[in-house]
Structure 1
Amino acid sequence: MKTHSYKGTSVQMLLALRLIAENALAMVDKMKAVRAKWDEAYFKTLIDTIDSILKNEFAIDPSFLLKEKTEQVQATEQEAKSALQVVKTQVEIEFRNEPIKRDRILSTLGLTFVKQIGKASQVELVEMLTCFDKNLTPTLKTELSNVGIDDACLDRVCSFSETFYTLNTEQEVLKVGKKDISAAISEKLEVLYDEVINLSKLASAMLPNKLDADKLTYQRALVQIGYKEQKGKNDTK
């Protein structure tokens, strides 16, 4: 049975919304320029509302949790990009005389999703890591090993597929919540989610810089706080 309209648990959703609000507050002048109501007071009130729900309903200190999570996600993001680039460079060099095979391998491992791995967004990085881990079959791994690409190098990239999602705090922390959320709180969460999602959609259309708009997307925020989509399982409160 569907319990809510948003992706992730209630706690994950609230942490993602808070991150979006913080990003908006950090560029409040740009936000006000496109919509007068998006001023400092608006975003501070939004953050206070989210903090209040997290503390009172879920006993979570969001400022500490998000600070720790964001720092570690950013550090691991750079390591993962570096590991992917190392593999891509080796494939390009080792199969330089076999362009068809080279391109097939790069595509299969998700190493052609973006032109420059170093500039990949977090969502794009997750897609690459997932594709790499899923498609690095024993046969392909042997093929790469035969030309001198170290197994440890390949295994390191695969390890990031899981590690990237489980940073800072145990996953159970993000699953914390009352088993029975009152109807009033459930409705309040839906209203809050709708408000921020609409803000995100409007910002995407109105902000001239798309990199700024990307900082306000729900999917990006979910990835930053460590959300991992589990196929075949329904999200819980």
Structure 2
Amino acid sequence: MEILLVEDEEAIRDVLKSYFLNEGWNVRETDNGKQALQWIQNFKIDLIVLDLMIGGIQGEDVCRKIRQFSKVPIIMITSKVKEADTINGLNLGADDYIAKPFRTKEVIARIHALKRRMDMLTNDNLHRTAIKRFNRGRLSINHTTNEVFVNGERVELTHTEFKLLAVLTKRPGKIYSRHDLMYEVHGYRNIDVGRTIDMHIRNLRAKIEEDPREPIYIVTKIGSGYKFDFQSEAEIS
């Protein structure tokens, strides 16, 4: 796995790089947001560990720009610990968010969980009907290319958003609690799960629902969780 490590503190960068190399991962490292964007555009990167307080271009802007052309998984690492900062990071398209100070082994565990999730998504798609359509074809999901179309127009989803949609549509009508979705989507359980899943749902609704305030696909079951409210109408293998 090719990891891009974007971190401005040399000591933290050296420790993380050492652990990453010990896991057998290749590492590109920089403390500069502008250089990070150049590398992402010029090299195959499998995962990005991104600090927000970096030189050149701030981490939030780096994340925003990446999401304009790439779905590469992003784990944000930052000293910004307010809930609003976490929500903002997820809104920008981050797949996970870790606050400083952190334990290096936790970062490694989060990366392994994200990698398992990516591998599971790939394996699921190999054994799943390629295209599923819902609501008279207004929503279609291509599990071969990981693409989603709304009214014939392709919408850009992050890895996390696509996995979330894939989980919900795999068993339409099933109610998933937030903790269930955290495990299915992130590969681990977290006691502070509510806002993270809610924000991913909110972002996903904004992309696939005609009116996110009155969703017809991803429905909230108060006190229980979420469910997908349409059965698949057409499947093409």
- On whether the aligned pair clears a TM of 0.5, the verdict is no
Higher RCO (CA < 8 A, seq sep 6+): 1
Question: Counting strand residues as a fraction of each chain, which structure ranks higher?
Answer: 2
Structure ID, larger Rg: 1
